[in-house]
Amino acid sequence: MIKKYLPYFPIFGLAIYLVVFTLAASDYPGGSQNHAIYEGYSFFHNFLCDVMNPVTEGGLVNEARGLAIVSHLILSLTMIIFFYILPDIFHWENRKTQLIRVFGVLTMTAFIFMYTSYHDAIVVVTALFGSVALIPFFIELTKYSNKGFKKLAYACYLLSFVVFVIFVTKIGFYYLPFLQKIVFFLDAWWVIWVSVIVINKQTLVAERA
C-alpha cells in the first residue's frame, strides 16, 4: 500500500512546500547579498535559503526562520521520496538503478542540513552525491523512449551544474538568485513528470493483473 501511494507524495509535497515557503517568505524582513537594505523577500535577489538565515544580510533578526525550516524539511522529504521512486520509471532493474536510488536518497538526506551553518559545505556534498546518482541515471536514460522527458532531465542537470559553478566561482553571482528560481521550477516539472510516469506505470500493471 505504501509503494502504491508513494509516487503521489512528491506532487503533494511540492505543493505543500510552496504554500509553507510562501508564508515564510511573506514574513521575511528583507535583505540579500545583492541588496542588504531591502524590505521583504525579493524574487529576483533573494535565494530560497535566505529565508532560513537567523539574521538577514541587513542585520535584522529573521522571525520567518522557523517556518522556513519547516518548509525546507518538507522539500527534503519530498526529494528523498522522489529519488527513491526515480528508478521506477524504467522497466528494468540493475546495479545502475540501485545506485540511482541509494545515492539519490543520500543526497537529499544531506540536503536536510542546508539550513545549518554548514550550508556551503552541504552544497558541495549534495553536488557530488547528486552527480553520482545522476550519472547512472543518464546512462540508463539513453534506453528511454520519451525524448521530451530526456531533454527536460538533461536541462535540469545542466542548469544545476551552471548554478553550482556560479556559486563556487562567484562569476555572475548577482543573477544567481533569479537563475535558482528558474532551475527550481524546471526541477519541479521534472519531479511531477517522474511521479506521473510511475503512477501510470503502476496503474497499467494493476490493470493487467
For 109-113, which contacts have Cβ atoms below 8 Å and span 24 or more sequence positions? 109/76, 109/80, 111/76, 111/79, 112/72, 112/73, 112/76
Cell of 82: 522522489
Residues in the chain: 209
Residues 105-132: tens digit of each pLDDT: 999 999 999 999 999 999 999 999 999 9
Instruction: Quote the pTM value.
Output: 0.94
Longest dimension (CA), the chain: 61
Number of C-alpha atoms within 13 angstroms, CB side, residue 83? Answer: 27
pLDDT value of residue 203: 87
CA distances from 103 to 43, 53, 133 (A): 31, 28, 5
Distance CA 24, CA 34 (A): 20
SS3 content of the chain, % helix, strand, coil (to 5): 75, 0, 25
Q: Is the pLDDT of residue 174 over 80?
A: yes
Residues 61-95: tens digit of each pLDDT: 999 999 999 999 999 999 999 999 999 999 889 99
pLDDT band at 207 (very low <50, low <70, confident <90, very high): confident
pLDDT band at 4 (very low <50, low <70, confident <90, very high): confident
Q: Is the pLDDT of residue 209 over 90?
A: no
Q: What is the mean pLDDT of the chain?
A: 94
Share of the chain above pLDDT 70, in %: 99
Point out which residues pair with 167 in neighbouring strands. none
Distance CA 68, CA 50 (A): 9
CA distances from 91 to 140, 157, 190 (A): 11, 23, 19
pLDDT value of residue 49: 95
